């Protein structure tokens, strides 16, 4: 969801932005999408293989 706003909002707010700004925002949007995909995969993997609850240290 955040990547959608990173892609569209600056173009709507600053229509006369230079090309390098648009390219930078495009790359930033791709990075946010990739980070979201990695986080989603991590959460799915943790659901499939739940780790045992931590045991308290011996006193």
- Tell me: the pLDDT tens digits for 10-51? 778 888 989 898 888 888 888 888 998 999 999 998 888 766
Structural domain includes residue 6: yes
pLDDT of amino acid 37? 92
| Model confidence at 1: pLDDT above 70 | no
Domain membership of residue 40 as a residue range: 2-46
- Whether the model clears a pTM of 0.85, i.e. scores above it, the answer is no
Find the angle CA(47)-CA(2)-CA(42) to the nearest 5 degrees.
Answer: 20
Structural domain includes residue 8: yes
pLDDT of amino acid 14? 83
Structural domain includes residue 15: yes
Structural domain includes residue 40: yes
State how far the Cα of 24 lies from the Cα of 29, in Å rounded to an integer: 9
Alpha-carbon distance values, 33 to 4, 39, 51, 59 (Å): 9, 10, 27, 45
CA 26 to chain centre: 13
Structural domain includes residue 55: no
Residue 59 pLDDT grade (very low, low, confident, very high; cuts 50, 70, 90): low
State how many domains the chain has.
Answer: 1
């Amino acid at each position: 969801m955040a990547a959608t706003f990173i892609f569209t909002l600056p173009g709507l707010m600053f229509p006369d932005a230079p090309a390098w700004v648009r390219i930078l925002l495009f790359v930033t949007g791709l990075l946010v999408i990739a980070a979201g995909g990695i986080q989603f995969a991590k959460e799915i993997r943790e659901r499939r293989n739940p780790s045992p609850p931590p045991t308290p240290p011996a006193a």
